[in-house]
Amino acid sequence: MNESLQIILLTGSLITGILVIMFSSQLTRKYKLPWLSSYFYYLIFLFVFGIYGIIGSQLISVFLLKQGLEPQAIASIVSFITYLGIPFLILSWYMFIRLSREMINKKISSIFNLVFFLILGLGFLGIGLLLIKRDLLGENRFELIRSIMLIGFSAVSLVVYAYSLTQLFLESRRFLDNKDRRNMRLFGLLYVLYAVGTISLINLSYLGPVYGFGFIIILFAIHLLPIFFLSLYLDMNFIEPSARNDFDKSLEEFVNKYQISKRESEVVQLICKGKNNQDISDSLFISLQTVKDHIHRIYLKTGVKNRVQLTNLIRTFS
């Protein structure tokens, strides 16, 4: 791969990364959702690692090579620069776990935080110790350190994304709206592709620079897809938290007064979202006749005759 093409790919990756940060920042400001803030910081930390630990080390390697520096000295400097970028990578992993938990309305426990940072902090210090004592590792010490870094990156990435995305896929079943479940899983699927792509390409980078640049492109560019998807989804479905809280309070009072069952309450929520009987059947995984039976009982309990009257009745509890 010639030098001009390398510069074009690196520049394109950096520009794409800047666009991703800009778009995610706009989403964070426009929609006041906690998980969007976590997503924004995830991207920030990931890109700082990419720019400093990956692109920066490669550019310095090319520069030092032109200056005629010995390969061993270059390898030592590049390894140290990459090492200093690892804390940003650790923070990006943590923010992705936090993102996945917040998307399903759950929090990370303080014990998890302690264990996560303790284990990865010790791993970080262990690699630092290897860099300091590298002369004890023999002639192939830099290749050995590089292999350890690759194994560590691959293993932790696999665990982080597998844990986070499994949580996202499993817990999305709790969401009543079938569209919410589907969109959440699509977002997760995009990051399955991201995780598989980055892990595969970085482990194939020893075969040639094409794989290394493929890793850099995916690291920066693929996030445009979930950002674009989130923008479309939120534009069509976002509800202000204050309005959501008012509705939840009204629904709770309505349910208590008319002794509405849990399943009937779920049906009511979907009716208020404008869902038809087939949509409710698909969202709750119940038959169409069961939906009709629930709606009939709701009408009997409340004395209303149609969906408009039911919705208006709930609003009176505001």
Mean pLDDT within 120-128: 93
Q: What integer pLDDT is reported at residue 241 of this predicted model? A: 59
In terms of C-beta distances under 8 Å and separation of at least 24 residues, what long-range contacts does 112-116 make, across chains too? Answer: none
Residue 275, CA atoms < 13 Å, CB-side half-sphere: 25
- Those residues whose C-beta lies under 8 Å from the C-beta of residue 36, and which sit 6 or more positions away, are 24, 27, 28, 230
Tokens of 24: 């995610």
Mean pLDDT within 181-197: 90
| Other CB atoms within 10 A of residue 47 CB | 23
Report whether pLDDT(253) > 90.
no
Q: What integer pLDDT is reported at residue 242 of this predicted model? A: 56
Alpha-carbon torsion (18, 24, 27, 31), positive or negative: negative
Q: pTM of the prediction?
A: 0.80
d(C-alpha 123, C-alpha 179), whole Å? 41
Mean pLDDT within 79-104: 92
pLDDT range class, residue 58, cuts 50, 70, 90: confident
Mean pLDDT within 207-233: 87
Break the chain into its structural domains and give their ranges. Answer: 3-237, 241-315
pLDDT tens digits, 156-186: 999 999 999 999 888 887 776 677 788 888 9
Q: What integer pLDDT is reported at residue 238 of this predicted model? A: 63
Q: How far is CA 271 from CA 4, 215, 251, 291, 317, in A?
A: 59, 46, 12, 11, 17
- Those residues whose C-beta lies under 8 Å from the C-beta of residue 30, and which sit 6 or more positions away, are 234
| Of the candidates 87, 18, 51, the residue with the CA atom closest to the CA atom of residue 227 | 18
Q: What integer pLDDT is reported at residue 176 of this predicted model? A: 65
pLDDT tens digits, 4-56: 777 788 788 888 889 999 999 999 988 878 899 999 999 999 999 988 888 77
- Which amino acid, one-letter code, is at 100? S
d(C-alpha 243, C-alpha 16), whole Å? 35
Mean pLDDT within 104-111: 89
Domain with residues 241-315, CATH architecture: Orthogonal Bundle (1.10)
Residue holding tokens 């920042």? 25
Mean pLDDT within 139-152: 82
Mean pLDDT within 125-135: 86
Report whether pLDDT(131) > 90.
no
d(C-alpha 257, C-alpha 255), whole Å? 6
